[in-house]
Amino acid sequence: MFLLRLITTLIFFGVLFCQSAFCAVNYKVKELVLDNSDSIVVIKGQGNFKLAQDDVYAPLPSANGSINIINDIALHSVTNPARYVIDIPGSVLIGANRTYKIKNSKTLQSVALSQFSTNPHIVRVVFTLKNSSDLEKFKTYTDGENIIVKYSPTVVKNVFQYKFYTPAGDTSARANLQNLSAQIVYNNSQEPQNIEPKFQTKYYLTQISQNSDGLILRGLGQISMERVKYNPEGTMASLNLDSCALSMKYDGKTFKIPSSNPDLKATLTIDKLNSKKVKLTLLGENLRDYRFVVAPDGQSLFISHRTYVINTFFTSRTAKVNSYKFEKNANGYSVFDLAFNMPVTYDVFELNNSFYLDVNNLSDYNEELLKEVLAQAGVEITVYKISSDKTRFIVPLKNISFTYANVESNAKSIKLCFKDNDIQTPVAEKKEEKQDNINVVYIPKQETPEVKEPKKKKETPKVISSLKKVVIDAGHGGIDSGAIGGGHYEKTINLNIAKMVQEKLAKKDVYVHMTRTKDATMSLEERVEFSNELNPDIFVSIHTNSTLNLETQGLETHYFKDNSIDLADIIHKNFASEKNLRKWDTKDRGVIKSRFYVINHTEAPSVLIEIGFISNDEERAKIVKKDRQEEIATAIAKGILEYLKIK
């Protein structure tokens, strides 16, 4: 009897699942993600799509002139009205059929997602355009999991392609971003919903390949690199790609950097640091000799030992200098602007207190013109040819510091921005304060923090807009383990709790950004910059305490700026509640004003929570347990929700 029922059930489900000859539904279309560059839309999906779609992507036009398009997906263009249609086989749409009405786009009017057919299963995506001439600009790719549609060749102009420090007050780079948004209209009776671009992602890293002398990272959008950081021995180099999304299949993966010289051994590990940044870590020897070369299309990055940076790899055409300009603005920033007659490949690096720019396909740098411009500017820049088509610009960083290099998206202009050192700079100030802070953050704290001040009077919390954004910062990570006790690392406890807080807030529809989601190294500046760029409602840093007095235990909430007092009070009230203190058998060490770097430099109301002492045997035994971490996370999340006035 039971067996019969089982067989019947199996047959029943078999019929349900295999309505067509291609019975497998192997892909789910989940949502549409807008990118505020107004050039890319990502159809986010899930499933085995990638299994059928190997090697479908080669976006480097100059390499062989061909672009492979997903073979299995049917693409149609319709000119009247202008529409671009994608049919995805073996797929189901999650949620109701819907149309995204796009606002402030130069190209798109709307994007519709629908379950076009269930036998066979096909999800249809229809892009309705403003202009039929834009149809030819459409390109479709996949990163294995998602379908990426690029609909405009013009990507964001004036992004910091190579970001050393973003000068304070220079917001021009951001001003050019499109203010894209959309309204989702559902085909059922569901209320329309407004959405904003989920990512400010400007680069989708989708493919990593090797040639005989290096690694090639390819993607869509514009590469934006931060300054390369080295350890003193030169055996580790790290570089963040800012505003970058990573294909899941590469997260956490390590690649050998090939070389025809067997003595050169280096590896590259690639990690998704958080929702914005991807971290590249090189391990090997003499890593200062490695170069990161950006292709003229700004979409590919070649990583190789300097001896193998071949000029013709990305482009066989040599460029000439059209013009030089030198401009000094009132804030002490100088911009050296180089314009070329055609796109260039370049790499930048620092050596012996000088800044180097190598333009890899520049045959003529127009020496006369350069001399003239530099004489007027009164600066010292040395230029010489390394080879017939490779030119090196050297800027000694004696009285100036380098702030950023910025390449136009057509790679025909490079701007180098410098700051006079004798003018009070935000950079210099930052460094001094960091020095202070290393003492506070990394060395076990004294029983009584030196910078303890009485609490300020309460202010009423500011009125917060409807979209709540929270940055959760798991303290330390990667090579910085934080405090250590009984074989346990602070960084791990912090991350566990941070993730739990994230999960709890996400359930309440709070938009949570994590500074790190894995065991990755991240500087204090990077955390602050991450938060300030996102402009969240609040910033919450999670740490575990440590002190030389092994008896000490208890809970602390730290704030520094006046705008953070209420947040600190409300979180602490929930965290160090009577009930929790009794249950956890610990002490309330209070709300403390402390000059920690992250809570001092983040613009949003910010707190740093010390969830207990790893140096105390009893407390440590409790806080390393999952149950206790859940309870701590619940209390912190409760405080955050109360502050944000979310029920």
Which H helix or E strand runs over 150? strand 147-150
**How many CB atoms within 10 Å of residue 193?**
12
Minimum gap (Å) between residue 157 Cβ and Zn ion: 40
DSSP for 120-143? TEEEEEEEEES-GGGGGG-EEEE-
Region of 8-16, 262-270, 537-545, 629-637 interacting with Zn ion (CB under 5 A):
537-545
d(CA 630, CA 611): 12
Query: With binding defined as CB under 5 A, does residue 284 bind Zn ion?
Result: no
SS3 509: coil
Minimum gap (Å) between residue 473 Cβ and Zn ion: 10
Q: Site mask, Zn ion, residues 458-487, x = CB under 5 A? A: -----------------x------x-----
Minimum gap (Å) between residue 438 Cβ and Zn ion: 12
**Residues numbered 359-398 forming contacts with Zn ion, rule: CB under 5 A:** none
Minimum gap (Å) between residue 498 Cβ and Zn ion: 12
Q: Site mask, Zn ion, residues 481-520, x = CB under 5 A? A: -x--------------------------------------
Closest by alpha carbon to 321, among 356, 367, 360, 374?
A: 367
Closest by alpha carbon to 91, among 24, 187, 14?
A: 24
Beta carbon nearer to Zn ion, 475 or 605:
475
Beta carbon nearer to Zn ion, 250 or 539:
539
SS3 196: coil
Binding-site size for Zn ion (CB under 5 A) equals 3
d(CA 139, CA 149): 6
Q: Token digits for 594?
A: 């402390």
Minimum gap (Å) between residue 596 Cβ and Zn ion: 9
Beta carbon nearer to Zn ion, 357 or 598:
598
Beta carbon nearer to Zn ion, 59 or 475:
475
SS3 238: strand
**How many CB atoms within 10 Å of residue 302?**
24
Q: Site mask, Zn ion, residues 411-450, x = CB under 5 A? A: ----------------------------------------
Beta carbon nearer to Zn ion, 214 or 475:
475
Signed CA dihedral, 42, 44, 49, 51: sign only: positive
Minimum gap (Å) between residue 577 Cβ and Zn ion: 23
Pairing assessment for the beta strands 346-351 and 354-359 based on DSSP bridges: antiparallel
SS (H, E, C) 462-496: CCCCCCCEEEEEECCECCECCCEECCEEHHHHHHH
**With left for phi above 0 and alpha for psi between -120 and 50, is residue 68 left, alpha or beta?**
beta
Interface pick for Zn ion out of 276, 543, 572, 628 (rule CB under 5 A): 543
Beta carbon nearer to Zn ion, 39 or 521:
521
CB–CB of 289/239 below 8 Å? no
Region of 216-224, 385-393, 510-518, 535-543 interacting with Zn ion (CB under 5 A):
535-543
Beta carbon nearer to Zn ion, 243 or 629:
629
Beta carbon nearer to Zn ion, 125 or 609:
609
Minimum gap (Å) between residue 275 Cβ and Zn ion: 22
Minimum gap (Å) between residue 589 Cβ and Zn ion: 15
CA atoms within 13 A on the CB side of 270: 22
Beta carbon nearer to Zn ion, 482 or 639:
482
Beta carbon nearer to Zn ion, 443 or 506:
443
Q: Which residue is nearest to Zn ion (CB)?
A: 543
Minimum gap (Å) between residue 226 Cβ and Zn ion: 24
Q: Which residues contact 469 (CB under 8 A, 6 or more apart)?
A: 510, 511, 513, 534, 535, 536, 537
Region of 110-118, 162-170, 284-292, 536-544 interacting with Zn ion (CB under 5 A):
536-544
d(CA 149, CA 68): 13
Which H helix or E strand runs over 399? none
Beta carbon nearer to Zn ion, 272 or 543:
543
Minimum gap (Å) between residue 527 Cβ and Zn ion: 12
User: Can you tell me which residue has the tokens 């999670």?
Assistant: 542
Minimum gap (Å) between residue 542 Cβ and Zn ion: 9
Question: What does the binding site for Zn ion look like in residue numbers (CB under 5 A)?
Answer: 475, 482, 543
